[in-house]
């Protein structure tokens, strides 16, 4: 019987995956009618993109000079100051085709197959390009064919400068280059990368020239390894390139297509809106291209680096930029893509303890605003007083021990939000054990830092916004220090202690500390509200010397971080009265607009925060989607990357998380089906991941929810709001009707691997 049920589950999952793939079916792709204009760039490039979560390929240039920029998430100049430090560009491949000068440019970013396809035409010559980054190996492929003979010239380049050491050579039929950072002052660890090119289907002359025949297929295979991949990084790169054949390429292409087919089968949504679905799936593709769980975590620009010294060093910015790209991955069932998130935070713990002890004289961990991998700090102040004065209008380069904390104590605890999202989504014991020490250090810090006054815990000197010297304030920045009970701080600290109670209980550790943590949760300060035009509204900070943060300005991006994302301590289920205040604040966002696309003030930052938060508090879903479309139209790129002035990869969560929250919510362990969706509009979703480790599917058609299906991964109790309020519901376990449920919310036990279904009676 067990074997039959196991077979049923396999067939069920296969059917679900096949259906999801069929639904996606490659409808949505990015189309480029002109050559990229923002390649190279210090921010997000606008060219066609492909990646495997480690290597990123950005196509730049024009038809007569195609430029294949090769980024890698683990290639950093491990220097503590930017510009200069941060993620670095390994190099690029140039393909010169002089006969295509002035040619028509056409390219597609085909996302279901993770393929860049190009077609370049000049008079009677047409050159076809198919390029992809292997999902499973360190290989980039570019295939060329043409309808008539032409000449191509190749050049493989390693980026030079910024203290790097470069070498190049030819081993047989393999051309290779290397780039290294080593043996320079303040460099925390050496970085090396090798890039090797092998040409299949044609002979390269010594000057890089290739003579192509009509209808001949030419394959350029590029192999890349760093010293983070392999100790013998250079030898491995060259050897693997030498062993490349058309058969081996065919094999890795099959693996590549299988990987992406599985990726698209993890979950899907249908909402009957082609524009939003297009950006939903594009954002998932770009995140899948950017992050792999077993590789280095992506920074602000992911692996799509097209020059050295990218903005903010392309680092891990800890006051939201680093965390936000992952927020949609949990509910989208891309858990394995998030496994790289924690390692940089764990690697910095010893330094974080030193900062807390030396700078604040307390326990726990205290993190600056920006770090990198392997314990790297990226955000030291400029090392010389003169450079400090040039950039920040003060010679004082020893602020906070020379590190940029920018008046904020929340940089370490901010990341606990992601840890809790993954924990609640999986109830994975090994994962909980991995991150619990980090959470415990955060708890140690805040137990020490909080003050208990007049029956409540209060927070001094943790600032709502970044406070720092700059050219505008002429060094008078200290006048802005003094925030008391920032909504950001209060929310994230409450999140921490609620969460660590759950994790410690799950792991059955530190029971003697739970009373203290519960006391903090119960007695931490309330969020501050005031009155505007006769209506209650959120105040950013209870007290602040900053005029900007002293006024009552309502719910905004930074407050949302503490309250809703990643805080998760507010919402209709948590406190309906307070939620009405937040909902009222969201309703006033329209009043502050000067033009379409400016809703929620997200052009600088916050599209991934404000839109899903508006869903969570219950703002009208049709209006949210309208405003989201306007925002996309105002600021997005041809490769379907929605951009923000203040960052890059974090925007990839915006559309998926907004739609996922409309389809299903599960904060505070209660599943809600279509909680904020116009029931007159047909919609469906499959295998969205809910807290409690449930995979949930449902369909809304003709105004009625047809079913709710769940798979229980961890065998935990399931609480779910009645999707058919006021009606009795049939619970089906593994295909068998077992009990009738009634009421506003149901709670029932489940078993690991159990398939459940709810239908209206």
- Each residue's pLDDT tens digit, 719-728: 999 999 999 9
The CATH superfamily holding the domain 679-760 is Golgi alpha-mannosidase II (2.60.40.1180)
CB contact at 8 A, 637 and 46: yes
- The mean pLDDT value for 486-500 works out to 98
CB contact at 8 A, 128 and 144: yes
Is the model more confident about 453 or about 668? 453
Question: What's the confidence (pLDDT) of residue 206?
Answer: 86
Q: Which of 119-128, 306-315, 543-552 has the lowest mean pLDDT?
A: 543-552
| Average pLDDT over the chain, rounded to an integer | 95
Summarised one tens digit per residue, pLDDT across range 419-443 is: 999 999 999 999 999 999 999 999 9
User: Does 129 have pLDDT greater than 50?
Assistant: yes
Does the pTM of the predicted model rise above 0.85?
A: yes
Question: What's the confidence (pLDDT) of residue 624?
Answer: 98
User: What residues does each domain of the chain span?
Assistant: 30-269, 679-760
Could you tell me what percent of the chain has a pLDDT over 70? 97
Question: What's the confidence (pLDDT) of residue 20?
Answer: 47
Rounded CA-CA distance 193/183 in Å is 16
- The mean pLDDT value for 360-376 works out to 98
Summarised one tens digit per residue, pLDDT across range 216-269 is: 999 999 999 999 999 999 999 999 999 999 999 999 999 999 999 999 999 999
CA 275 to each of CA 22, 109, 270: distance values in angstroms, whole numbers, following the listed order: 18, 16, 12
Rounded CA-CA distance 609/558 in Å is 9
Q: Quick one: how far is CA 529 from the chain centroid?
A: 32
Question: What's the confidence (pLDDT) of residue 461?
Answer: 98
**Cβ neighbours, 10 Å, residue 692:** 25
Question: What's the confidence (pLDDT) of residue 8?
Answer: 42
Question: What's the confidence (pLDDT) of residue 101?
Answer: 98
Question: What's the confidence (pLDDT) of residue 473?
Answer: 86
Of 625, 613, 637, give the one whose Cα is nearest residue 301.
Answer: 637
Summarised one tens digit per residue, pLDDT across range 656-703 is: 999 999 999 999 899 999 999 999 999 999 999 999 999 999 999 999
Question: What's the confidence (pLDDT) of residue 555?
Answer: 97
CB contact at 8 A, 649 and 298: yes
End-to-end, the C-alpha distance of the chain in Å comes to 29
- Report the CATH number of the 30-269 domain: 2.70.98.50
When pLDDT is cut at 50, 70 and 90, the band that residue 24 belongs to is low
Summarised one tens digit per residue, pLDDT across range 62-106 is: 999 999 999 999 999 999 999 999 999 999 999 999 999 999 999
Summarised one tens digit per residue, pLDDT across range 342-352 is: 999 999 999 99
Bridging pattern class, strands 370-371 and 316-317 = antiparallel
Rounded CA-CA distance 249/76 in Å is 29
Question: What's the confidence (pLDDT) of residue 431?
Answer: 98
Question: What's the confidence (pLDDT) of residue 26?
Answer: 63
In this chain, the answer to whether the domains covering 30-269 and 679-760 adopt an identical fold is: no
Structure tokens at 617: 């508090």
Q: Quick one: how far is CA 599 from the chain centroid?
A: 22
């Amino acid at each position: 019987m067990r074997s039959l049920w196991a077979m049923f589950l396999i067939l069920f999952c296969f059917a679900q995956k096949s259906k999801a793939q069929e639904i996606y079916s490659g409808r949505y792709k990015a189309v480029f009618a002109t050559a990229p204009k923002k390649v190279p760039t210090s921010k997000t490039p606008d060219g066609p993109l492909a990646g495997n979560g480690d290597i990123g390929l950005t196509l730049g240039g024009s038809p007569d000079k195609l430029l294949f920029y090769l980024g890698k998430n683990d290639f950093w100049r491990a220097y503590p100051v930017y510009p200069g430090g941060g993620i670095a560009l390994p190099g690029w491949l140039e393909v010169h085709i002089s006969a295509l000068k002035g040619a028509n440019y056409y390219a597609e970013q085909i996302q279901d197959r993770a393929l860049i396809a190009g077609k370049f035409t000049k008079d009677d010559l047409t050159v076809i390009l198919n390029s992809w980054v292997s999902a499973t190996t360190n290989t980039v492929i570019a295939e060329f064919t043409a309808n008539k003979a032409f000449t191509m010239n190749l050049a493989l380049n390693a980026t030079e400068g910024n203290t790097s050491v470069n070498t190049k050579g030819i081993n047989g039929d393999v051309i290779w280059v290397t780039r290294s950072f080593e043996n320079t002052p303040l460099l925390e660890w050496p970085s090396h990368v090798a890039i090797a090119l092998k040409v299949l289907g044609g002979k390269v002359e010594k000057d890089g020239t290739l003579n192509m025949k009509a209808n001949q297929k030419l394959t350029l295979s590029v192999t890349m390894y760093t010293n983070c991949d392999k100790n013998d990084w250079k030898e491995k790169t060259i050897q693997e390139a030498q062993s490349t054949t058309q058969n081996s390429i065919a094999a890795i292409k099959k693996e590549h297509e299988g990987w992406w087919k599985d990726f698209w089968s993890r979950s899907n949504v249908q909402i009957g809106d082609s524009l939003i679905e297009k950006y939903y799936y594009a954002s998932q593709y770009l995140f899948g291209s950017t992050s792999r769980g077993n590789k280095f975590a992506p920074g602000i620009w992911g692996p799509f680096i097209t020059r050295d010294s990218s903005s903010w060093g392309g680092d891990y910015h800890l006051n939201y930029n680093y965390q936000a790209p992952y927020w949609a991955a949990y509910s989208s069932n891309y858990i394995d893509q998030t496994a790289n998130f924690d390692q940089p935070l764990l690697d910095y713990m010893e330094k974080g303890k030193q900062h807390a002890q030396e700078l604040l004289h307390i326990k726990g961990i205290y993190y600056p605003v920006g770090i990198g991998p392997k314990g790297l700090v990226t955000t030291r102040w400029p090392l010389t007083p003169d450079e400090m004065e040039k950039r920040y209008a003060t010679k004082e380069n020893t602020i906070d021990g020379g590190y940029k904390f920018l008046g904020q104590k929340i940089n370490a605890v901010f990341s606990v939000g992601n840890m809790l999202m993954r924990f609640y989504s999986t109830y994975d014991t090994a994962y909980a054990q991995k991150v619990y020490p980090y959470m415990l250090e955060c708890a140690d810090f805040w137990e020490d830092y909080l003050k208990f006054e007049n029956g409540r815990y209060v927070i001094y000197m943790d600032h709502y916004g970044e406070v720092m010297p700059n050219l505008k304030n002429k060094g008078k920045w200290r006048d802005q220090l003094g925030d008391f009970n920032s909504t950001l701080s209060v929310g994230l600290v409450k999140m921490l202690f609620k969460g660590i109670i759950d994790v410690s209980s799950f792991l059955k550790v530190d029971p003697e500390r739970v009373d203290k943590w519960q006391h903090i949760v119960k007695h931490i300060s309330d969020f501050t509200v005031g009155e505007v035009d006769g209506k209650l509204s959120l105040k950013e900070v209870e007290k602040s010397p900053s005029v900007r943060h002293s006024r009552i300005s309502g719910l905004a991006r930074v407050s949302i971080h503490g309250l809703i994302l990643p805080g998760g301590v507010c919402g209709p289920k948590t406190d309906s009265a307070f939620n009405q205040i937040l909902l009222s604040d969201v309703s006033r966002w329209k009043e502050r607009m000067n033009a379409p696309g400016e809703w929620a003030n997200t052009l600088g930052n916050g599209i991934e925060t404000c839109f899903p938060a508006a869903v969570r508090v219950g703002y009208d879903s049709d209006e949210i989607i309208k405003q989201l479309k306007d925002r996309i139209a105002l600021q997005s790129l041809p490769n379907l990357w929605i951009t923000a002035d203040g960052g890059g990869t974090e925007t990839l969560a915006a559309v998926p998380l907004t739609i996922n929250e409309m389809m299903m919510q599960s904060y505070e362990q209660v599943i809600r089906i279509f909680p904020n969706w116009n029931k007159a509009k047909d919609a469906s979703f499959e295998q969205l991941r809910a807290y409690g480790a449930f995979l949930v599917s449902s369909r809304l058609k003709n105004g009625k929810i047809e079913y709710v299906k769940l798979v229980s991964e961890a065998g935990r109790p399931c609480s779910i709001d009645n999707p058919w309020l006021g009606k009795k519901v049939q619970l089906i376990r593994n295909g068998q009707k077992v009990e009738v449920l009634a009421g506003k919310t149901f709670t029932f036990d489940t078993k690991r691997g159990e398939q459940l279904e709810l239908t209206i009676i």
